[in-house]
């Protein structure tokens, strides 16, 4: 994601925070709860992302 897009998102969030509002969306993304409790998935994600950056 570009720096400009990240800045735009941050400024939009700040405007909503200052106004005490929330951005409304048409759809809500539903993620299965099993994604958060699956040990095999956890091991795979930790192994593929975090363990690669440790010396």
User: pLDDT tens, position by position, for the chain (55 residues)?
Assistant: 899 999 999 999 999 999 999 999 899 889 999 888 999 988 888 887 777 665 6
Write down the pLDDT at residue 39: 92
Write down the pLDDT at residue 53: 65
Q: Cα dist. 6→1, 9, 35, 41 in Å?
A: 7, 5, 26, 28
Write down the pLDDT at residue 50: 73
Helices (H), the chain: 3-19, 34-37, 39-45
Q: What is the domain extent for residue 29?
A: 3-53
Number of domains the chain is built from: 1
DSSP one-letter code for 50: I
* Dihedrals phi, psi of 28, to nearest 5 degrees: -115, 130
Write down the pLDDT at residue 45: 85
């Amino acid at each position: 994601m570009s720096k400009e897009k990240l800045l735009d998102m941050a400024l939009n969030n700040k405007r909503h925070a200052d106004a005490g509002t929330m951005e409304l969306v048409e759809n809500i993304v539903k993620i299965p709860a099993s994604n958060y409790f699956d040990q095999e998935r956890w091991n795979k994600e930790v192994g593929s992302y975090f363990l690669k950056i440790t010396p």
